[in-house]
Amino acid sequence: MVKIIECPRDAMQGLSNFIPTATKIEYLNLLLQVGFDTLDFGSFVSPKAIPQMKDTKEVLAELEKTDTKLLSIVVNERGASDALHYPEINFLGFPLSVSETFQQRNTKKSIAEAKVELHKINTLAQGNHKETVAYLSMAFGNPYEEEFSTSKVLEMAHELSEMGIGIISLSDTIGTANAKDIQDLFENASKLLPNTELGVHLHCNPFKATELASAAINAGCRRIDTALGGLGGCPMAKDSLTGNLATESLIEALQDQPSLMPALNLGILEKASEFRQHNIG
C-alpha cells in the first residue's frame, strides 16, 4: 500500500498572504479525517524566514487526534528541541540539498554544516521516540552551474543511511524530472539502501503529474508526498505551472493498482478540496 504524505505546510508556506490561524486549523482538521498516512502540518523555523508558519504552535494545539501521523519541518537543533515538547509529533523533517547553492539559500548553511545539524537533530529525535525524515532536495538536478550526477545523490543517500536516518525522500525541487529519471533514481537507491524507507517529493507541471506518480509507483515507491490541488512548489522552477504533486493526480495513478490504494474518505477529501479552493489558494 502507498503511504500518502499530505503536505499542506509546503503548499501554504510560500503564499504571500498570511492565512488566518483559525483557517489553517479548520483545513488541517479536515485533512486529518481523510486517512492520509502522515500530515506535514507545520514547521519550527524562524518566523522571519517563513512568516506563514509563525503560528505552528497555536495550530498544533487545536489539531484533532486521528490515526494520521504528524510531521514538522525543522532546520536546526533549536527548532528540533522546540518540536520535541510535543508528543503528538511523530516525525521531524529536515531539508538537505545535493546543491551547495540551494543549501545556503534554504538554510543559510553549507552542506557540511547541514549534515552536522542533521546528525544532532537525529540524535535528539531518536532519544525522544521520534523519527527523522531527510528530504534530499535537488536530487534530480538544479538550475545552478554546479556539477551534478546521480552517483552524487546516491552517495549522499548512503551517507544519510549510515548516519542512522531511516526515511529519505528524494526530492525534485524544481520540477525537472521525467518519468525515466524518477524510475531510474528510485530503483538505484532501492538497490543501494534496501533497509531504508525511500519516498519521493515531486514538484511538477500538473499535466505531467499522473505520469510521474505512476513512474514512482511502478519503480516500487510506496511513500509519496502530495498536496491537494498541486498547491505550492519552488519559485526557482522555470515552468510557472510547477507545483507540488497533486493528491488528486496520485489517486488517479493508483486507480490502475487498486491494491496499493490506501483507505481514504473521498467525501471528506472533496470537502477539504473545496475548503482549500475557497480559503487557502
Per-residue model confidence (pLDDT) at position 235: 61
CA distance 45 to 28: 19
Q: In the numeric block, which cell numbers belong to residue 192?
A: 543501494
| Amino acid 145: pLDDT | 84
Which stretches of 3-49 are DSSP H helices?
8-12, 21-31
3-class DSSP state of 82: helix
Cβ-contact 172, 140 below 8 angstroms: yes
Phi, psi dihedrals of residue 4, rounded to the nearest 5°: -95, 120
Residue closest to 56 by CA, chosen among 65, 69, 64, 47: 47
Tell me, rounded to whole angstroms, the distance of Cα 195 from its chain centroid: 20
Query: Which one-letter DSSP state was computed for residue 5?
Result: E
Stated pTM of the model: 0.96
Q: Which residues pair with 53 in a beta bridge?
A: none
Which pLDDT does position 242 carry in this prediction?
Answer: 79
Beta bridge partners of residue 136, listed in sequence order = 96, 170
Quick: pLDDT tens for 142-164. 888 898 899 999 999 999 999 99
Return the closest-CA partner of residue 199 out of 152, 136, 261: 136
Alpha carbon distance 251, 265 (integer Å): 12
Q: What Å distances lie between residue 232 and 135, 142, 190, CA to CA? A: 16, 18, 28
Q: Mind telling me the catalytic residues?
A: 234
Q: Contact, 69 vs 37, CB < 8 A?
A: yes
**pLDDT value, residue 237:** 55
The pLDDT assigned to 160 comes to: 98
pLDDT < 50 stretches in the chain: none
Q: Strand, coil or helix: what is 6?
A: strand
DSSP of 73-105, one letter per residue?
A: EE-SHHHHHHHTT-TT--EEEEEEES-HHHHHH
Whole-number pLDDT of residue 24:
98
Q: Give phi and psi for 244, each to the nearest 5.
A: -65, 155
Report the CATH number that the domain containing residue 37 is assigned in CATH.
3.20.20.70
Contact 225, 201 (CB under 8 A): yes
| Domain coverage including residue 32 | 3-279
User: How many domains are there within the chain?
Assistant: 1
C-alpha cell at 245: 504533486
Distance CA 123, CA 172 (A): 27
